[in-house]
Amino acid sequence: MIERHLTRIRARHALSADEEQVVRGLLADTRSVEARRTVIREGERLEASTLLLDGLMCRYKDLRNGQRQVTELHVPGDFADMHSFTLKRLDHNVQTLTDCVIGLVPHERIQRMTETHPRLARLYWFGTNLDAAIHREWEVSLGKRWAAERTAALFCEMHVRLGLVGMADPDGYGFPLTQTELAECLGITPIHLNRTLKELREAGLVEFRSRYVSLLDLPRLRSMADFDENYLYLDPDPL
């Protein structure tokens, strides 16, 4: 089950046999969590980081008025909160969107890894910096793109990220979110997202139905989103 995590790392960096063993040794425990459970609450003190092995999760922040903004989606192989290793408590919540399998990685094991395997430490540092890059791209979407462009950009991002761990087809992928959840990622109301999806569908760009995203015309979809996958760092320099 940790294979997807190794796949994710290897998509960007080589791993020696020794390093692979250390990575495998990080996992202290795995557990199943059903859909829509908040796994990590803002402010609580954490002693372990959560590795997503299967399913989809998200980071979100609540507002006083009951609304929430999702700040990142997680696909299998992602660490949901490697950053809690240094921060110890988070400024946001982490929730499952679907039924999930998660792995727990005690901070003390990460600590030991940073001391014995500085290159691995650097790879995981890279990983949190990649999260930040995704946050920045979402800032651009939320700040400057119209609803349709924004929606297109997210569909493009998820296609690449799911593809990296072998969970996407060339022209689509399973994506079991409700329209309400998707709208919370995009900073628009579910109603307006529904209209936007209709617009994208009728333009022959993308269709989102029964938990599956069908990419009807990927080149035009990427173009309308002004999608540039460089922010996902698919070809980093070798370390």
Partner DNA sequence: CGTCAGGTTGACGCGGGTCAAAATGAGTGG
Partner DNA sequence: CCACTCATTTTGACCCGCGTCAACCTGACG
Q: Scan for tokens 């919370």, then name that residue.
A: 184
| Closer by beta carbon to DNA, 31 or else 192 | 192
Quick one: how many helices (H) and strands (E) in the chain?
Answer: 9, 10
Mask 4-43, x = binds DNA (CB under 7 A)?
Answer: ----------------------------------------
Interior CA angle at 44 toward 129 and 180, to 5°?
Answer: 70
Task: Tell whether residue 49 is a contact of DNA (CB under 7 A).
Answer: no
Indicate which of a second copy, DNA, none lies near residue 197 (CB less than 5 to 8 Å, by partner kind): DNA
- Rounded distance between C-alpha atoms, residue 197 and residue 151, angstroms: 8
Which range of residues in 83-91, 151-159, 170-178, 200-208 is near a second copy by CB under 8 A? 83-91
Burial of 91 (0-12, 13-18, 19+ CB in 10 A): exposed
Indicate which of a second copy, DNA, none lies near residue 31 (CB less than 5 to 8 Å, by partner kind): none
| Closer by beta carbon to DNA, 98 or else 114 | 98
Q: Which residues are within 8 A (CB) of 63 and not within 5 positions of it... i.e. 6 or more apart?
A: 69
Burial of 187 (0-12, 13-18, 19+ CB in 10 A): middle
- Rounded distance between C-alpha atoms, residue 45 and residue 124, angstroms: 21
Burial of 229 (0-12, 13-18, 19+ CB in 10 A): middle
Q: Which 112-151 positions form the footprint of a second copy (CB under 8 A)?
A: 114-115, 118, 121-122, 125-126, 128-133, 135-140, 142-145
Residues making contact with a second copy (CB under 8 A) = 42-43, 45, 59, 61, 63-65, 67, 69, 71-72, 83, 85-89, 91-92, 114-115, 118, 121-122, 125-126, 128-133, 135-140, 142-145, 186-187, 226, 230-231, 233, 236-237
Residues making contact with DNA (CB under 7 A) = 146-148, 178-180, 187-192, 194-198, 209-210
